[in-house]
Structure 1
Amino acid sequence: MNYNIGETRGKATPWDYIRARDVEKMGDILHDPDEQARWALAFLVAGGLPYMWNELASNIQDICYALLELDEGDRVLIVGEEVESCGWKRGVEAHIGSTGSIDLFEIIEEGNAAMYAGRHGRNGLLAAWEWTYTHDTPDNTYDAILVAQAAQHTDDWVEAGQEFLRVLKPGRRIVSAESLIPGGGGLTASIDTDIQVQTWFDRIISPLQLKLSELGAYTAEEIKDAFGDGVERPGTLEWRGVHVFWGRKPLPSQASTSTTA
């Protein structure tokens, strides 16, 4: 197999241990590699993001809205995956009212196409690319910026962070919220601490032939480091595999004295 997280990995997969009674109940199709991959892909992506954000992590969304410090009439930039089905667009609209506006870049189709085609970004990670969404946007355009379940898809967070700060108004905030892929970017603790979780994960990954070393997963701390001194009073939060980063673009008078305290 193309993956190896723990000492027991790479030698066999749960699919190698299919029993006769499994086939008796579900048919010879269990041995079909194409069917295994189809089921694994469905288990990996189908309905996952809307379920997580609407049912499991809506409390984190509320925290993100508070961190964004949204006001009536604000103009907000959102770059994300499944932004509407996950409730992000609706949540922001509730805070900015009818006089506010949202510039939305929905990247789920772009991300899926890159994943299925095996395209890699400049950082060598799968389904990552250069973000050019705001290259034609004037400086200091947005009152707030939200990166909603999309952080893994930029291949250079230093570059992306600088661009976001360019289009963000001084004194306003950027927030990123991401439910990280277990195993991606070396994030293996949630898998390796429970053999049932590891078995479920191996059952998904092995038919898809994914190399875990190529899956991007930026932690909130890594995004914070990418912004460096470019933001004032940055913060991070980790909750049940969700990573949130936030930071404020300094006012002109504070730009030379901003700290990460």
Structure 2
Amino acid sequence: MSIDYAHVSETRGKADPWSFLRDRDIERMGEVLRDPAERERWAMAFLVGGGLPYMWTRLAANIQDIAYALLDLRPGDRVLIVGEEVESCGWRGAVEEAVGPAGTVDVAELIDEGNAAIFEGKYGRNGLLAAWQWTYTHDTPDETYDAILVAQAAQHCDDWSEASEEFVRVLKPGKRIVSAEALIPGGGGLTRSVDVDIHVQTWFDKLVGPLKVALSELGAYTAEEIKDAFGDRVEGARAMEWRGVHVFWGRKPLRPGSSTAVGD
């Protein structure tokens, strides 16, 4: 027997399970459950409150270790991190430890800018919410960095082809860029984790229903999409996915005639 799942995508994030509250629910948990503003406040708390440091330090620390290894950091390196919650997720501390006191870690922290864009309804040139043109390296000289890490920030870039060209410009030949991103289910068409079970969809609908933000309007780039955006600007480009976490990495080509050999 075949099952038609089309109706699932039609109702996902649109149906209102809160309208099915029973009097017994109110008696047990309080009249506050009927307050739309309170439900929105908690929905936003569930969506963004403390999630990133929890995911990265407790659930995906193994992926962080992979990202650090891929950066191929050495003492004295100068590294750029563009990310969200760079401190609380441990990205900065780990990179600083790897490059040592002689190294330099430049950070572009996006969390406040990203949250403001969501709450204020700002859209990028790609038509997606909370995405914008990245100008963080526009004043940076060519070949400044020994490594670049995009840590949970890829969704906020509204043109990855443009950004990839800029990142390669400021990266030294033979050096790596790595992006690691835990994508939001429901954003960018990533809905398999929601569709897998009606309980999961019910919880999802309870979460996103009170929000004024449509998760489908948030940017979400898979590692493969970022890999495609870099194209032949990097060598040894790879992409992987693990439990919704997407990792891309690639190395800037060496100058013609260089005899220094590096692995992918």
One-letter amino acid of the structure 2 residue matched with residue 250 of structure 1: P
Choose which of 216, 221, 233 in structure 2 pairs with 1:218: 221
Aligned to 1:104: 107
Q: Which runs of 5+ in 1 are unaligned?
A: 256-260
Q: Is 1:246–2:249 an aligned residue pair?
A: yes
Choose which of 54, 61, 64 in structure 1 pairs with 2:64: 61
Q: Is 1:52–2:20 an aligned residue pair?
A: no
Shift of 1:235: 0.5
Aligned to 2:185: 182
Aligned to 2:129: 126
Cα distance in 2, alignment partners of residues 153 and 244 from structure 1:
16
Choose which of 86, 91, 96 in structure 2 pairs with 1:93: 96
Is residue 5–residue 183 contact of structure 1 (8 Å, CA) maintained in 2? no
- The SS at the match of 1:41 is helix
Shift of 1:101: 0.7
Q: Is 1:171–2:174 an aligned residue pair?
A: yes
Cα distance in 2, alignment partners of residues 174 and 8 from structure 1:
39
One-letter amino acid of the structure 2 residue matched with residue 73 of structure 1: G
- The SS at the match of 1:82 is coil
Is residue 144–residue 172 contact of structure 1 (8 Å, CA) maintained in 2? yes
Q: Is 1:154–2:157 an aligned residue pair?
A: yes
Shift of 1:18: 1.1
- The SS at the match of 1:253 is coil
Equivalent residue pairs, number: 253
Cα distance in 2, alignment partners of residues 12 and 77 from structure 1:
43
One-letter amino acid of the structure 1 residue matched with residue 238 of structure 2: G
Between 1:208-217 and 1:94-103, the stretch displaced more is: 208-217
Cα distance in 1, alignment partners of residues 250 and 39 from structure 2:
43
Aligned to 1:236: 239
Q: Is 1:82–2:85 an aligned residue pair?
A: yes
Assess, with a 3 A threshold, how the Cα gap between structure 1 residues 5 and 84 changes in structure 2: closer, same or farther: farther
Choose which of 12, 19, 23 in structure 2 pairs with 1:20: 23
One-letter amino acid of the structure 2 residue matched with residue 153 of structure 1: H
- CA deviation string 1:132-174 (max 9, x = no partner): 0110000000000000000000000000110000000010000
Is residue 5–residue 188 contact of structure 1 (8 Å, CA) maintained in 2? no
One-letter amino acid of the structure 1 residue matched with residue 226 of structure 2: I
Q: TM-score, normalised by structure 2?
A: 0.92
Shift of 1:5: 6.3
Q: Is 1:136–2:139 an aligned residue pair?
A: yes
Cα distance in 2, alignment partners of residues 76 and 11 from structure 1:
43
- The SS at the match of 2:27 is helix
Q: Which runs of 5+ in 2 are unaligned?
A: 1-6, 259-263
Is residue 237–residue 250 contact of structure 2 (8 Å, CA) maintained in 1? yes
Shift of 1:13: 1.7
Aligned to 1:115: 118
Shift of 1:12: 2.7
Cα distance in 1, alignment partners of residues 13 and 179 from structure 2:
34
Is residue 134–residue 163 contact of structure 2 (8 Å, CA) maintained in 1? yes
Shift of 1:252: 1.5
Is residue 12–residue 201 contact of structure 2 (8 Å, CA) maintained in 1? no
- The SS at the match of 2:15 is coil
Assess, with a 3 A threshold, how the Cα gap between structure 1 residues 10 and 44 changes in structure 2: closer, same or farther: closer
- CA deviation string 1:22-42 (max 9, x = no partner): 111222111111011001001
